[in-house]
Structure 1
Amino acid sequence: MLVERRKLLIGAAALALVAGSGQRVAARGSLIPVPPVARVEPVTETFFGQSVTDPYRWMETRTDPDWEPFMRCNAAHAEATLAAIPGRAAMLEQISALTGSNATATAPVPAGGKLFYTKRAEGKDTSALIVREGTVDRVLVDPDALKAGGSHVSLDWWVPSPDGSHVVYGLSPSGSEDSVLHIMRVADQTILPERIDRTQYASPSWLPDGTGFFYLRFGNAAKGSVDYYKDSVAWLHRVGTEAEADIEILKRGKYDAIPLTPSEFPVLITDPTSDHVLVAVFGGVRRENPVWSTLLSDLVAGTPRFKPVATLEDEITTVGWKGDDLYLLSTRDAENGKVLKVSMSSPDLSAAEVVIPHGDRVIEGLAHARDGLYVSFMEGGYQSLARVNPSGTLTPVPLPFEGSILQTNASTSEPGVYLRLTSWLEPVGVWRVGADGTVTDTGLSPRPDIDTSPFEAIRDFATARDGTRVPVSIIARKGLVRDGSAPTLVNAYGAYQISSTPGFATRAVPFLALGGVLVTAHVRGGGEYGKRWWRAGQKLTKPNTWRDLIDVSEHLIKAGWTSSAKLGIAGGSAGGITMGRALTERPDLFAVVVPEVGCLNALRMEFSQNGPGNIDEFGTVTTEDGFRGLYAMDSLHHVVDGTRYPAVLMPHGMTDPRVEPWHSAKMTARLRAAAAPDSGPILLRVDFEAGHGIGSTRSQLDALDADIYSFLLWQTGQAGFQPA
């Protein structure tokens, strides 16, 4: 039925007092705006003999006059509902006190005898770019001091020149990731006049002499267009010159030796110790990329002689080099990876030296320092580090605790490596590995005054329905009685071969202190066990991802950790597929489901701005197998009328460039239309100053987590979070 626009707006703006058991209103006497009713305009398509009807296709048109009012009315409804939850204000106060009372920093990047890093100081809302010279720190870029039309500004990326004299960085408003490139002279903090837009994925790589850098810039397609990320061009910018004078280096069709599709990105990589340039062609979210080399001087002169290093079939995922020694991480005939070494000037992969052969551990990353090649490994979600010294010996690097290596920053001009480490009960710290193998805490990210001793981290396994052992990580209060009464939140992702690694969740501490249980389900589709684990939860095998989550949840219930009435699940972005399909396949199993910035209408993903680059991961509706896989993972088309659905909270940012907000909007509208009268509340939490979460401020993230935990505690009957 077509709902008249005037009725939609009047209904959404009206205030209603809803009485009842607490399933529909957070506090007796609260005035909660009525959620809007979405206009229905069915669009039916047929794929390989199967008809599919989308009732809300109009939401994909940003200029539709109903779109923004629909989102603003939902935002008002969700905000009022969440604010009325008793205990929510106290939860936010506790979270903000924890996050605001400690400083956090990234692993430094060494350049020219200086250290560059970002740090969020105590009480600050965003991280600032810092340069350390000796023992003296200076703030170079402070996003808290910048505003763009009243919106917060995010520091998206930054790269110092080899001598540390300049830094190139990107800024964007409201979490949009619409980066504009800036350049600063470090000595006097002068911001040079150059401004270059469309540089979200700039990937700057400085010339060895620091006079300029290569960077990537999108074409001229309109923002929001399916073509926005297509036909990117690699440019050379000389510091101090106008952007209009930049030299076009590489694009589709420029050189026959470098074939490019419209969706591929030509990225140029340099190193101060080498007179060569690497050309890597990135294909959206594709992990494996072809690589070429050429002399830097020839490339700049416009007469490159490209030498093939590796084809797409060689499955190169990471490179690292120093001088003429080029190291390549390949998964060809080695699903856990192997490290190969060739000459940069005369690359011959068929004669490559095998530096690290395929083994039981997954090889994850390479970082070359002056004293050797540092290699990170993954096993079941936990990471370790080793160094290959110049003689070729592989030596383990003892880390201070078992957990995650969030960053590994090294320079071929300096010895050692900087690490950013964390674990389930270990807050993030910045450590340095010296050339002698010693590991020391830099103090850049001081340990916060948070007592973790009342809690424990437990490594468990659940047996999936096909017999696969799925790792499960559990954080809970020591001695917690397993009688099924604990409110529990299970996080899951499962895509892109990205692992859910151990990490300290500062914002979860108040929830844990109330007796909550925090769980990570290491579902298939991730990278915990390398390529095989990823392929077991991708495209036609994607159902394993959400069914692993379902099976982990049932395992937790059987083990007494929780019960269906106390169980919530949460996951974001591609994890929205996991959440949405677990919700639609087993709505009876959960009390709360939180798909955050979630992909919930997978059939339409490839027609959005970020869609073409994700076809390698999810498939395309233009092939029968692709359609079958996408339909299976599409949550919107698995909502069933008359079903009792649990409480659902869908947070989304309006400037999200990765997963369009219409995913959550459509799912909200469909669930409300289909849900049985005794279903839980369905909230669409919209932040108009946020995107995919990457550029969100501390206060935005604090408020989001306070809402999620409070919503879960309200819906699971926790004392102190129930209406009077």
Structure 2
Amino acid sequence: MQQRLKPAVAALSLMLPLTSLAGAKGAVPPAPVAAKKAVADTYHGTKVDDPYQWLEKSDDPEVRKWVDGQTVHMRAVMDKLPSRDAIRARITTLLSHKSAAHYAMVQRGGVLFSMKFQPPRQQSMLVVLPSMDDTSSARVLVDPMVLDPSGHTTIDFYVPSLDGKKVAVSLSKDGTESGDITVYDVATGKPLPGEVVPRVNGGTAGGSLTWNADGTGFFYTRYPRGEERPAEDRDFFLQVYFHKLGTTTDKDTYELGKDAPRIANYDLKTSNDGSHVLAILGNGDGGEYALYLRGPSGTWTQLSKFEDKLISAAFGMDGALYALSRKDAPRGKLLRIPLATPALDKATVLIPEGQASIAGFRPTATRVYVVEQLGGPSRMRMVGLDGKEIGVVPTPPVSSVGTGVYLGGDDLLLGTSTYTEPPTLYRYGAKDGKLTKTALGRTSPVDTSNVVVDRVMCSSKDGTQVPLNILHTRGTKLNGNNPTLLTGYGGFNISLSPGFSPMNFAFIEQGGVVAIANLRGGAEFGEEWHANGSLTKKQNVFDDFYACAKLLVDQKWTKPERLAIQGGSNGGLLMGAALTQHPEMYRTVLAHVGIYDMLRVELTPNGQFNVTEYGTVKNPEHFQAMQAYSPYHQVKNGVKYPSVLFTSGENDPRVDPFHSRKMVARLQEATGSKRPVLLRTNNMGHGMGTPLDQEIEEEVDVYAFLFNELGMKYRPVNSKVPAPTSK
């Protein structure tokens, strides 16, 4: 699902006007009872009842009526919660902090490009940065708010030409991630007339683009258009085409992909001199890749197959391609492939597998910078092109570090982040080996000097040691009574590395404890760690999460009555499994844009891309494993379930909102407790592109609900100093 950790965020702007949500101070209208309809599917001789399958049809009037009723019920509950105005004021302060965020930076032709998020603007914009030390010098190239003042248009990605004179920008609306490319002239900031290429980006296979040597055209990912394929196939069969500037898109030429899997996705790159183009083909979302290289002759050559386990690659400055391999090296080894004789059998090992897992790398003039995963935190070390160790870049301890932006020679622009410090951007000078802070980082909207991060290990069901990061104010008492919020992800080779979240401090400053688990299924310890949390071993992820929750209780950080959990997307699936497998452990659950019906997920477009991660019901072994944990199917009548807030997006291209609808219907029917089960539906997507104001409104609901369910009396915060520790 092109795994994004950010949950869907948007305000209620659904089918009912706010004026129809009668009586916020009166009686709460009950949630509508979903009809049960006798439907069953049979898998490998096993009959599975599915009484709420009718809720899968988003455009069915009966479904819309039910969703409207859930919205009225949810809104009435939310609007009665205490301290909403104070909570809104605080969250607005935190998320509208005027310090700008710069990210997704690229330097081309001596021009430094960056995405810039500048609250209170609703969307990020694309800028040029003449100076890393003077943010006021930034020049706006593309501002989605100028294109669409409603705030519903977003930039999916951008790619400058090699000379930095043109930039291709993918723009999509309403959270759909269905992006068309517009080409802009960098000098003027104006779009080139007629240069719009449709359906380059999507919510299933993503999208990519790379320029040719002289900037006269670009290679791009192309979804089927018009009647080229049946409607059910138009989010699949991604191929690579070439577009020449000044020509219509019907003249674009096919390059690659006719023989690729139905669930193909691509990452495209051009060598520094423009002589070669690399296409990294992904087989769905499970981590299988094949590499293709286009040489100066214009011919594509396959460098590797899925079974060769090359997972990423980058062009060097020395006429070589550098590739990360996991073949017989689950933590990764770095290969060097000469472009003069581009073949896997010509590859040499530059960096053999080590104790740390290689997460990324950046070749420069005389060295390779390597980012290594250390179980969540990461570091950057340097290796010469001869394979000799140079040293470690002096980044902060227990931090995240990116692969950096190439500035020329062996110098980088490098970003780091910790749990208590917002992203900081440094210029790393290879000659003196020092990090020099630039003006491009963010300042913090809160004083975090009294917040401590403890990193502990939890023993999972099978004895595996699972890292848990615990954020709390200094001096927090282990009295078993601290309100605690535990989160995790555990999938798709995604590592939960240290990162600064203002919303964590919205909880901590109220005396809360935040815990972040590094579960199997991620990439924290390499491919073996990922594989042991995917396909038929997915249950390990849920066991890991429970072990983390149990440690928090056993060590008296908290107790089940004061423990909340939160997760989104694949982390939403984690929430569903957690609340059905151990309902006694949690007081409340915040489940964002999650997957809950594992037996029918692959009937959706993006769900088909997920089969290489989750498995398929067509395989008996996969079916058995998925049914055993599928949250929707594991809800039991009469069980006293925690309170739950489900959020979903009507335009979500990654996780169909029917998952949340079906799960809510089943839980409302089955629960033996009187705790609320709420559905909050917004009119956006999976979270990408949500306007800032809508993000704030959703977080207000989430945190008002969270504080109320955990019995936290909200204390208005008039300063940047966190609240006193829990007594």
Q: TM-score, normalised on structure 1?
A: 0.90
The aligned residue for residue 158 of structure 2 is 158
1:117 equivalent to 2:141? Answer no
| Counterpart contact for 1:278–1:294, Cα < 8 Å | yes
Q: Deviations over 1:335-375 (max 9, x none)?
A: 10000111123134334221111111000112223343221
Counterpart for residue 256 of structure 1 = none
Q: C-alpha offsets along residues 367-422 of structure 1, whole Å, 9 cap, x if unaligned?
A: 22334322110011011112233443332332331244464343486542222221
Describe the SS at the equivalent of 1:197: strand
**Counterpart of 1:235?**
241
Task: Indicate the residue corresponding to 2:393 in structure 1.
Answer: 398
Equivalent runs, 1:176-191 vs 2, <5 Å: 176-191=176-191
Match of 2:9 in 1: none
Query: Is the Cα contact below 8 Å between 1:408 and 1:418 reproduced in 2?
Result: no
What is the one-letter code of the residue matched to 1:249?
Answer: E
Distance 1:692 1:383, change over 3 A: same
Matched, 1:332 2:338: no
Q: Report the equivalent of 1:276.
A: 276
Q: 1:556 & 1:611 partners in 2: Cα distance?
A: 34
Select 2:559's aligned residue among 563, 577, 601: 563
CA contact (8 A) 1:272 1:413 kept: no
For residues 407 and 112 of structure 1, the distance between their equivalents in structure 2, rounded to whole angstroms, comes to: 22
Residue 707 of structure 1: aligned partner: 701
Query: Does 1:435 find its partner at 2:430?
Result: yes
For residues 206-245 of structure 1, the aligned pairs below 5 Å read: 206-220=211-225, 227-245=233-251
Paired letter, 1:358: E
Matched, 1:137 2:138: yes
- Equivalent residue for 1:698, pick from 687, 692, 700: 692
Rounded to whole Å, the distance in 1 between the matches of 2:462 and 2:61 is 48
SS in 1 for 2:456: strand
Task: Say whether the 8 Å CA contact 1:273–1:412 is kept in structure 2.
Answer: no
Establish whether residue 627 from structure 1 lines up as the match of residue 623 from structure 2. yes
Indicate if the aligned counterparts of 2:379 and 2:395 stay in contact, CA closer than 8 A. Answer: no
Pick from 549, 553, 566: which aligns with 2:549? 553
The separation in 2 between residues aligned to 1:567 and 1:622, in whole angstroms, is 38
1:312 corresponding residue in structure 2: 306
The one-character-per-residue Cα deviations of 1:560-613 (angstroms, maximum 9, x if unpaired) are 111110011111111122111111111111100111100111111111010221
Distance in 2 between residues matched to 1:329 and 1:251, nearest whole Å: 22
DSSP 3-state at the match of 2:37: coil
Deviates more, 1:354-363 or 1:72-81: 72-81
Report the CA distance between 1:121 and its aligned residue.
1.9
Structure 2 counterpart of 1:318, which letter? Answer: S
For the residue of structure 1 that corresponds to 2:686, the secondary structure is coil
Q: How does 1:376-391 map to 2 (within 5 A)?
A: 376-391=371-386
Pairing 1:525–2:486 present? no
Q: Deviation at 1:160?
A: 0.9
The aligned counterpart of 2:105 is: 108
Aligned residue number for residue 23 of structure 1: none
- 1:369 aligns to what? 364
Structure 2: which 5+ runs fail to align?
Answer: 1-14, 717-727
Q: CA deviation at 1:77?
A: 2.5
Contact in 2 for aligned 1:462/1:552 (Cα 8 Å): yes
Task: Read off the aligned partner of 2:200 and give its amino acid letter.
Answer: T
Q: Return the structure number with greater relative CO, CA threshold 8 A, min gap 6.
A: 2
Show CA shifts across 1:86-132 (max 9, x none).
12321221121122122211152111111100111242222111112
Q: Distance in 2 between matches of 1:603 and 1:406?
A: 38
Counterparts of 2:655 and 2:595, CA distance in 1: 6
Question: How far, CA to CA, are the matches of 1:349 and 1:122 in structure 2?
Answer: 48
2:198 — aligned with what? 197
Maintained 8 Å contact 2:371/2:401? no
How far apart are the structure 2 equivalents of 1:211 and 1:224?
33
Q: In the alignment, is the contact (CA less than 8 A) between 2:122 and 2:151 conserved in 1?
A: no
The Cα offsets for residues 195-254 of structure 1, whole Å up to 9 and x where unpaired, read as 2222213311111211111000111489996533311121111223322222222231xx
The CA distance in 1 between the partners of 2:700 and 2:505, in whole Å, is 11
Q: Which amino acid aligns with 1:199?
A: V
Unmatched runs of 5 consecutive residues or more in structure 1: 1-8, 18-26, 253-258
Counterpart of 1:424 in structure 2 is 419
Q: 1:360 aligns with which of 355, 362, 367?
A: 355
Shift of 1:174: 1.6
Structure 1 residues 318 and 309: alpha-carbon distance in aligned structure 2, compared to 1, 3 A threshold: same
Q: Which residue of 2 aligns with 1:168?
A: 168
Partner of 1:22: none
1:266 is displaced (CA, Å) by 5.1
Amino acid corresponding to residue 668 of structure 2 in structure 1: R
Q: Which amino acid counterpart does residue 124 of structure 2 have in structure 1?
A: S
Aligned CA distance change for structure 1 residues 15 and 245 (closer, same or farther; 3 Å): closer
How many angstroms does 1:646 deviate by?
0.8
For the 8 Å contact 1:116–1:129, the answer to whether it is kept is yes
Query: Residue type matched to 2:694 in 1?
Result: Q
Deviations 1:249-285 (A, max 9, x none): 2231xxxxxx422222355431132522223322121
8 Å CA contact retained: 1:713, 1:721:
no
Q: In the alignment, what sits opposite 1:251?
A: 257
Match of 1:32 among 25, 28, 35: 28
| CA displacement at 1:164 relative to structure 2 | 0.9
- The amino acid that maps onto 2:309 is E
Query: Which residue of 331, 341, 344 maps to 1:346?
Result: 341
Provide the secondary structure at the position in 1 that maps to 2:655.
coil
Query: Once structures 1 and 2 are overlaid, which stretch shifts more, 386-395 or 473-482?
Result: 386-395
Match of 2:57 among 56, 61, 68: 61
Contact 1:88 / 1:721 at 8 angstroms: preserved in 2?
A: no
Give the distance between the partners of 2:324 and 2:579, measured in 1 at CA: 38
CA contact (8 A) 1:107 1:407 kept: no
CA distance in 2, matches of 1:405, 1:718: 32
Structure 2: how far apart are the matches of 1:421 and 1:696? 25
Give the percent of matched residue pairs that are identical in Structure 1 and Structure 2: 33
Residue 447 of structure 1 and its aligned partner are, at CA, apart by: 2.0
Does the aligned pair in 1 maintain the 2:565–2:588 contact within 8 Å?
yes
SS at match of 1:118: strand
The amino acid across from 1:117 in the alignment is S
1:629: how far off?
Answer: 1.9
Give distance in 2, aligned partners of 1:614 and 1:221: 26
Aligned equivalents of 1:658 and 1:221: distance in 2? 22
What amino acid sits opposite 1:310 in the alignment? S
Paired amino acid for 1:591 = R
Tell me, yes or no, if structure 1 residue 451 matches structure 2 residue 452.
no
1:213–1:237 contact (8 Å) kept in structure 2: yes
2:719 aligns with none
Task: Evaluate the alpha carbon distance shift between residue 168 and residue 513 of structure 1 in structure 2; reply closer, same or farther with a 3 A threshold.
Answer: same
* Partner-residue secondary structure (3-state), 1:588: helix
Report how far residue 16 of structure 1 moved.
8.5
1:506 matched to 2:502? The reply is yes
Matched, 1:584 2:585: no
Match of 1:21? none
Distance in 2, Cα, partners of 1:117 & 1:31: 50
Conservation of the 8 A alpha-carbon contact between 1:405 and 1:419: no
Q: Distance in 1 between matches of 2:677 and 2:389?
A: 54
Is the Cα contact below 8 Å between 1:285 and 1:614 reproduced in 2?
yes
In 1, Cα distance between the equivalents of 2:76 and 2:165?
50
Q: Give the match's secondary structure for 1:196.
A: strand
